[in-house]
């Protein structure tokens, strides 16, 4: 089992083990009894025929009532655990989770956002408000034992409280297209002090040059999923040496890659689609701040 890093992880695990144990015990019991009966009641001589007993009320009631009780235990236990995740604690911090082809975007209460990296303070009740911008995705943090579909035009909710510091996986568990397997992220559970420090740096990049900040954003905003910086082919054009070059678009016109073109490509990616590529890039409108766009442009310019 992955580590238990949220308030309801232990409960989910207990239910999981209960179902597993009951299944194993019943499987063994039924198998052993079946094999034993096959042996004990085999045809022992020519004159022996099948027993004339047609049914046994007491036995039939017993094997109906026991499984019914087990099913109800599992149902109410599971239902209670589900409600635990749906009922939001009053002082919960709301984080908007958005699935897009193919990354996760997180919006924090004070306007900061991150991509594929979710940072949360330990011990703080959280409300994940989950939706999708395109197709069905499913937001899954195994260490939190929390999973919820991300549905376009609809919000779904998970209430949880991280109880352990560390870095844990985030997966998409709904097949959502070509790069579904790359739709992965990390959740970092940190102390409140560290969280506040991270918020500050996420906003401004800290004390680094625009190009260095851009290099960080290249990874943290998931540009790296589709664009290489070493010239190799990927879902989107490589960034290496792209600045200042002339590109042929799918509609036949030619565009020079300058600051305005790069900015437009981030905010309105379908305005100009480079010939030979699919129009699959999501818009970064609302995700990238002006300062971050500037930094990314500076980074792209630095890739000679």
How many Cα atoms within 13 Å fall on the side-chain side of residue 15? 17
- Smallest distance from the beta carbon of 99 to ligand CUA, in angstroms? 5
Q: Which stretch binds ligand CUA (CB under 6 A): 35-43, 170-178, 195-203, 242-250?
A: 170-178
Dig out the tokens for 295 from the structure: 């930094």
Please pick, from the candidates 97, 176, 187, 296, the single residue that binds ligand CUA as defined by CB under 6 A.
Answer: 176
Dig out the tokens for 134 from the structure: 């395109």
- Which of 139/198 has CB closer to ligand CUA? 139
Cβ(111)–Cβ(78) under 8 Å?
no
Cis peptide before 102 (omega within 30 of 0): yes
Hey, which residues does 131 pair with through a beta bridge?
A: 98
- Residue 117 makes contact with ligand CUA by CB under 6 A: no
- Residue 183 makes contact with ligand CUA by CB under 6 A: yes
Dig out the tokens for 99 from the structure: 């699935």
Residue 66 has phi, psi (to 5 degrees) of -60, -50
| Distance from C-alpha of 213 to C-alpha of 103, rounded to nearest angstrom | 20
| Distance from C-alpha of 144 to C-alpha of 16, rounded to nearest angstrom | 14
- Which of 99/162 has CB closer to ligand CUA? 99
Residue 273 has phi, psi (to 5 degrees) of -105, 125
- Smallest distance from the beta carbon of 172 to ligand CUA, in angstroms? 3
- Residue 137 makes contact with ligand CUA by CB under 6 A: yes
- Residue 126 makes contact with ligand CUA by CB under 6 A: no
- Which of 99/121 has CB closer to ligand CUA? 99
- Smallest distance from the beta carbon of 232 to ligand CUA, in angstroms? 24
Please pick, from the candidates 99, 121, 185, 237, the single residue that binds ligand CUA as defined by CB under 6 A.
Answer: 99
- Which of 99/236 has CB closer to ligand CUA? 99
- Sheet of 137-141: strand order equals 117-121, 185-190, 166-172, 137-141, 146-150
- Residue 174 makes contact with ligand CUA by CB under 6 A: yes
- Binders of ligand CUA: how many residues, by CB under 6 A? 9
| Distance from C-alpha of 234 to C-alpha of 227, rounded to nearest angstrom | 6
Q: Which stretch binds ligand CUA (CB under 6 A): 18-26, 37-45, 173-181, 252-260?
A: 173-181
Task: Please identify which residue in the block is written with the tokens 């073109």.
Answer: 261
- Smallest distance from the beta carbon of 88 to ligand CUA, in angstroms? 24
| Chain residues in the site for ligand CUA (CB under 6 A) | 99, 102, 137, 172, 174-176, 180, 183
């Amino acid at each position: 089992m992955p580590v238990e890093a949220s308030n309801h992880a232990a409960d989910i695990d207990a239910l999981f083990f209960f179902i597993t144990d009951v299944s194993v015990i019943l499987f063994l019991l039924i198998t052993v009894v079946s094999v034993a009966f096959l042996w004990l009641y085999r045809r022992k001589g020519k004159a022996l025929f099948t027993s004339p007993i047609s049914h046994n009320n007491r036995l039939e009631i017993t094997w109906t009532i026991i499984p019914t009780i087990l099913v109800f235990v599992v149902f109410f236990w599971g239902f209670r655990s589900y409600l635990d995740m749906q009922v939001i604690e009053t002082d919960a911090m709301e984080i908007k989770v958005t699935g897009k082809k193919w990354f996760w975007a997180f919006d924090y209460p004070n306007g900061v956002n991150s991509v594929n990296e979710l940072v949360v303070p330990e011990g703080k009740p959280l409300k994940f408000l989950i939706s999708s911008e395109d197709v069905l995705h499913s937001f899954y943090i195994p260490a939190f034992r929390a999973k919820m579909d991300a549905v376009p035009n609809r919000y779904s909710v998970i209430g949880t409280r991280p109880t352990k510091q560390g870095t844990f996986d985030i997966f998409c568990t709904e097949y959502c297209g070509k790069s579904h397997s790359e739709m992965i992220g990390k959740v970092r559970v940190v102390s409140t002090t560290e969280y506040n420090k991270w918020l500050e740096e996420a906003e401004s990049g800290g004390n680094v040059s625009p190009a260095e900040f851009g290099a960080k954003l290249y990874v943290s905003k998931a540009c790296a999923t589709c664009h290489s910086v070493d010239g190799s082919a990927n879902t989107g054009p490589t960034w290496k040496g792209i600045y200042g070059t002339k590109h042929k678009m799918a509609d036949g016109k030619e565009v020079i890659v300058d600051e305005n073109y790069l900015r437009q490509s981030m905010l309105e990616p379908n305005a100009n689609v480079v010939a030979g590529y699919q129009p699959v890039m999501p818009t970064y409108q609302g995700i990238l701040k002006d300062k971050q766009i500037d930094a990314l442009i500076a980074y792209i310019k630095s890739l000679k």
